Amino acid sequence: MPPRLTIFAPKENKTMKKLAIFAFTALISLAACEQAPTPSAVPPITFGNKAPLRLNVASINVLESYRPPMNAPHVDHTLPTPPIMAIKQWAGQRLVAAGGQGNLEITIEDASVKETNLKRKDGIEGFFTDQQSERYDAHVHVTIKLYDGVQTISVAQGDVDVARMQTVGEKETVSQREKILNAMVQDMMLRFDSEAENRLRQYFARYIVG
């Protein structure tokens, strides 16, 4: 008769069981923390702190003549707030249609940010120097036209053109770069807001109400 193989199960150890459950729970919690998205520390670009301009038109339309290229050297689509989105935000917060007819047409001609790799020093001098590794050139150009709903051509028009440049150090982290570039776009848009209001008050004065 062939020998019988008997397997004896060890008695349950409550302490070991508790430790195993604790370790498993800790691993699950750690995995959840690693998978959870980190909230962005980059502040949003907003214009809500300023009173909007009320215009004697029935509608305000934003047109996109500029189409963001998704390849180098263009990087505007990778920023926390691309300039094209900031312009739309500006139009939505700073302008109000308060008339019965007519249309204000805002055309985004350019809203680009281009990246250029900078030449860096080699050798010992380069090793001990915190060098600037990239330059970013931002540019926005917008045309504004007002149609009174009677004539087929615009009765008032103006344009806004603003540019900014920023370099970034080679030792900056991804988060630091986001903050630096977002600050560049914010600074550019604050200037854009000021220039746009000046144009509107200069060339569209008769259509500003309230």
Q: Which of 204, 27, 65, 198 is nearest to 141 (CA)?
A: 65
Q: How far is CA 129 from CA 26, 122, 168, 174, in A?
A: 43, 10, 14, 20
Question: Which range (33-47, 70-84, 135-149, 181-195) has the least confidence?
Answer: 33-47
Q: Strand 95-97 relative to strand 53-55: parallel, antiparallel, unpaired? A: parallel
User: How high is the mean pLDDT of the chain?
Assistant: 84
Interatomic CA distance for residues 204 and 200, integer angstroms:
5
Q: Hey, is 52 helix, strand or coil?
A: coil
Contacts with 92 (C-beta within 8 Å, 6 or more apart), sequence order:
none
Q: Which of 174, 190, 189 is nearest to 42 (CA)?
A: 174
Contacts with 117 (C-beta within 8 Å, 6 or more apart), sequence order:
133, 134
Residue count of the chain: 210
Question: Which range (29-33, 121-125, 166-170, 203-207) has the least confidence?
Answer: 29-33
pTM of the model: 0.77
Token pair, residue 158, equals: 């103006």
Q: Residue 148: is its pLDDT beyond 90? A: yes
Q: Which long-range contacts (CB under 8 A, 24 or more apart) does 67-72 make?
A: 68/111, 68/112, 72/115
In this prediction, residues 101-114 reach a mean pLDDT of 98
Q: Residue 36: is its pLDDT beyond 50? A: no
Return the higher-pLDDT residue of 145 and 29.
Answer: 145
Q: Which fold has domain 52-209?
A: Double Stranded RNA Binding Domain (3.30.160)
Q: Hey, is 170 helix, strand or coil?
A: coil
Output b/e per residue, 124-148; b: 16+ Cβ within 10 A: eeeeeeeeebbebebbbbbbbbbbb
